[in-house]
Amino acid sequence: GWSKEDCTPRLYPAAKGQYMPEVLAEMKRLNVAGVFFGDPAEVKKWQAAAPERVIPGTAFKSVQTPDQADQLKRLEVAFTRDGFKVMGEIGLQYEGISPSDMRAEPYFALAEKLDIPVAIHMGTGGSGRSNISRPTFRGSMGNPLLLEDLLARHPKLRVQVMHAGYPMAENMLTLLQANSHVYVDIAGLIWSYPRKEVNRYIQRLVEGGFGDRVITLTI
């Protein structure tokens, strides 16, 4: 549950029934759109509430389940018929699996075939993640350079590196320099770490010449 601590900024849950309207009101105030990931039915609810602000995304559940054919079929329908625009969030790092692992190959091949960008969790997973909730999480699997073999196999694949590969700025810059279809987002960082540290990390990417490939928000 939530523990109320005196911290800045204060992050507490919205009142019952107010989460969606409060988020959408803030997006309207800031005049932004966002990519929304999750259960397709839930994402569609958000899209119905604010179609001009919600970019729908969905992904496969795991590469370690036996229903790969069913998952691929569901995704193809989602992207070709149901209007979903992004394959994500892809959380292979939480399973301790590299994004270039061949078990994920059919999903990335589908994304490249349909010209659907993929959003892959890379980098931070939250403090103590491996000890508290996800013992299979591996920080090493968030190294942005682990994407290189995947990108070599799929040179037209567009990749959104979620959480910008934090804190591996030098490897992130190396990947961005070598691959023109790679972008980063800073979601998660802006409420997980001290603002000064987050700004320093973003500044490093921008000063490296890649400010035009930084995405600010996914939900």
Q: For residues 163 and 216, what is the distance between their CA atoms, to the nearest angstrom?
A: 10
- Concatenate the DSSP letters of all residues of the chain into one string: -------SS---PPPTT-HHHHHHHHHHHHT--EEEES-HHHHHHHHHH-TTTEEEEE--S-SSSS-HHHHHHHHHHHHHTS---EEEEE-GGGGT--TT-GGGHHHHHHHHHHT--EEEE-S---TTHHHHT-TT--GGGG-GGGGHHHHHH-TT--EEEEGGGTT-HHHHHHHHHH-TTEEEE-TTHHHHS-HHHHHHHHHHHIIIIIGGGEE--B-
Q: The pTM is what?
A: 0.90
Read off the pLDDT band of 217 (50, 70, 90).
low
pLDDT value of position 131: 80
**Does position 1 have pLDDT exceeding 50, yes or no?**
no
Tell me: the pLDDT tens digits for 117-128?
A: 999 999 888 777
Tell me: the pLDDT tens digits for 2-57?
A: 556 566 666 678 899 999 999 999 999 999 999 999 999 999 999 999 999 999 99
Tell me: the pLDDT tens digits for 62-113?
A: 999 999 999 999 999 999 999 999 999 999 999 999 999 999 999 999 999 9
Q: Read off the pLDDT of each residue in 115-143 and give the average, rounded to a whole number.
A: 89
